Amino acid sequence: MRVFLTVLAFCWFLVGVFMVLQYHREKEFKAELLDTRLQMHNEQIIQDLRNGEDIINIIQKIDVPVDGLRVTLIDSKGEVIYDNDTHISSRPLSNHNNRPEIIEARNFGKGHAVERISESDDIPYFYSAQLGDNGLVVRSAAPYTHSLIDFLRADFTLLWIMAGLTLVMSLFAFWSSHKISLSITRLSRFAEKAERGEPIYDEEAFPNDELGNIASNIIHLYVQRDQHHKKALKQEQDKIRLKKQLTNNINHELKTPVASILLCLELLEDHPELSDDKKTDFMDKIKINAQRLNALLLDVATITRMDEGATLIEKENVDLKALIDEIIEEERLRTNMKIILDIPSLIVYGNRILLESIFRNLIDNAIAYSGASEMKISADSEGNFIIRDNGCGIPSEHLPYIFERFYRVDKGRSRAAGGTGLGLSIVRNAITLHGGDITAENNNGLTYRFNLKVNKNATKST
Ligand code: ADP
């Protein structure tokens, strides 16, 4: 606003200077116009005198350009030899050669004086003098009557138009600068907020002009980047939290089997007298706990690898039907549960080990926890899977949490079954890494639904 007022003041100053100059020019123009008329009058008298006419006759017949015009003839010595104003001519008159219009006329042929008070009758006149023959000067003097003053007055129309236009321009400039300052004020308010780290919303309305558009684009970009930054920060924090959680849980999960192994070893060491059956018992316990530790380490390694990101995981075209067939063959060796596979040939561009862990975990879980007699794995050609068992299902209050790390429905049973509590978490992560999502529901047993992104362009390779 301060800039605007400075510029406006400068504009008004320029307009003021221009108006004063124009006013003077206008007055000069009017004076020149009157001078030209009077000089024409003088010229005519000189011409008539040259033709030998008498001055009285000339004055009587000649057209008078201005009311009350005084005509004076001054000889080469400066003496007034004629003045049509008898009142003046009857008085003794001083030498006229020192009058400015006469000096000018003698020097340049023509001369004039504006609003000079006559020494002869104390009235202001407009004098125009012209040098004639033999040093004779003819002078016409127009008295400043109302009509002459009106005539000589500058025409203010143009000046009023200029003042009006400047006012309109100032109002327009004020309106535009108000719009600009609106954008600038809002932009600086945004900058202050951003500096203080206060929340900024992308709903600030800006005037619909270039600056307004630039300002709202800046804010839009800032808000977008801010959201992106916050999202990345949250993801990073989640990752750290999960890692911490994982470390804590691992410590916790490790404690029991390690303590159990140590206890068995101490007992074996301290009591060599124990019977062979007892010793075998302790050895079996050590073996089971070591297997638990091994399973835990494997699962943690898988989870950690997935956490590191998809880029670190090697991918290839995997024939899912063949892969699941192999898993089922192996599982059949250790279960009576009927496993039905009903899927078309599907090629997924992914990590073979992770894909295998999806199906192995789901089948293992059904065997370990569901008590089902039958399990069916079906899919369509788009990679939409439904895996259903006819077992006990999962109590609905547990369902929302089963994909969380180390979440177990029945802790004792899970541990007894050799579970780490990481199985379904690995399944969900592996599916996410292959472009899908998984849900679980109770439906006369447990039903999982998930999808894997199928590579339809790939040729079969296993
Ligand atoms: P774990 O690695 O210990 O097997 P999971 O994450 O695989 O743990 O499974 C979480 C819990 O979900 C298990 O403790 C088990 O109680 C329950 N569960 C998983 N699958 C089934 C199923 N098919 N039927 C019933 N319960 C299941």
413-423 residue pLDDT tens: 777 777 888 99
Q: Is the pLDDT of residue 4 over 80?
A: no
Helix-strand-coil percent breakdown of the chain, rounded to 5?
Answer: 60, 15, 25
The mean pLDDT of 167-172, rounded to a whole number, is 90
Residue having the nearest C-alpha atom to atom 16 of ligand 1:
409
The type of residue at 330 is E
- Which of helix, strand or coil describes residue 379? strand
Instruction: Report how far residue 162's alpha carbon sits from residue 383's, in angstroms, rounded to the nearest whole number.
Output: 80
Q: How far is the CA of 253 from the centre of ligand 1 (A)?
A: 16
HSE-CB at 184 with a 13 A cutoff on CA atoms is 8
Does 402 contact ligand 1 (Cβ within 6 A)? yes
Does 363 contact ligand 1 (Cβ within 6 A)? no
Q: Closest Cα to residue 211, out of 185, 172, 173, 191?
A: 185
The mean pLDDT of 225-241, rounded to a whole number, is 89
The mean pLDDT of 145-151, rounded to a whole number, is 87
Shortest-distance atom of ligand 1 to CA 415: 3
Q: Candidates 291, 370, 392, 414: which one to mutate for ligand 1, based on the most atoms within 8 Å of Cβ?
A: 414
Edge-to-edge order in the sheet of strand 137-143: 80-83, 70-74, 137-143, 124-131, 110-117
Residues composing the chain: 462
**Please, which pLDDT band fits residue 462 given cuts at 50, 70 and 90?**
very low
Q: Candidates 402, 441, 443, 449: which one to mutate for ligand 1, based on the most atoms within 8 Å of Cβ?
A: 402
Q: Candidates 369, 399, 441: which one to mutate for ligand 1, based on the most atoms within 8 Å of Cβ?
A: 369
The first and second tokens of residue 362, run together, are: 């789901």
Does 388 contact ligand 1 (Cβ within 6 A)? no
Does 299 contact ligand 1 (Cβ within 6 A)? no
**Please, which pLDDT band fits residue 461 given cuts at 50, 70 and 90?**
very low
Q: Is the pLDDT of residue 346 over 60?
A: yes
Q: How far is the CA of 330 from the centre of ligand 1 (A)?
A: 20
Residue having the nearest C-alpha atom to atom 10 of ligand 1:
408
Q: Closest Cα to residue 131, out of 106, 94, 168?
A: 106
Does 389 contact ligand 1 (Cβ within 6 A)? yes
Shortest-distance atom of ligand 1 to CA 366: 23
Does 446 contact ligand 1 (Cβ within 6 A)? yes
Shortest-distance atom of ligand 1 to CA 426: 6
Euclidean distance between the first and the last CA atom of the chain, given in angstroms as a whole number: 75
DSSP track, 380-396 = -TT-EEEEEE-S----T
The mean pLDDT of 439-454, rounded to a whole number, is 96
* pLDDT, greater one: 125 or 249: 125
The mean pLDDT of 219-242, rounded to a whole number, is 89
Shortest-distance atom of ligand 1 to CA 418: 3
Shortest-distance atom of ligand 1 to CA 391: 24
Q: Which helix (H) or strand (E) holds 224?
A: helix 210-270
Does 369 contact ligand 1 (Cβ within 6 A)? yes
Please state the pTM of the whole predicted model.
Answer: 0.55
Does 392 contact ligand 1 (Cβ within 6 A)? yes
Q: How far is the CA of 374 from the centre of ligand 1 (A)?
A: 17
Does 125 contact ligand 1 (Cβ within 6 A)? no
Q: Candidates 250, 303, 337, 365: which one to mutate for ligand 1, based on the most atoms within 8 Å of Cβ?
A: 365
Residue 367 has what DSSP assignment? I
Does 216 contact ligand 1 (Cβ within 6 A)? no
Residue having the nearest C-alpha atom to atom 5 of ligand 1:
423
The mean pLDDT of 344-359, rounded to a whole number, is 93
pLDDT in tens, 285-338: 999 999 989 988 888 888 888 877 666 678 899 999 999 999 999 999 989 999
Q: How far is the CA of 384 from the centre of ligand 1 (A)?
A: 22
Does 390 contact ligand 1 (Cβ within 6 A)? no
The type of residue at 387 is I
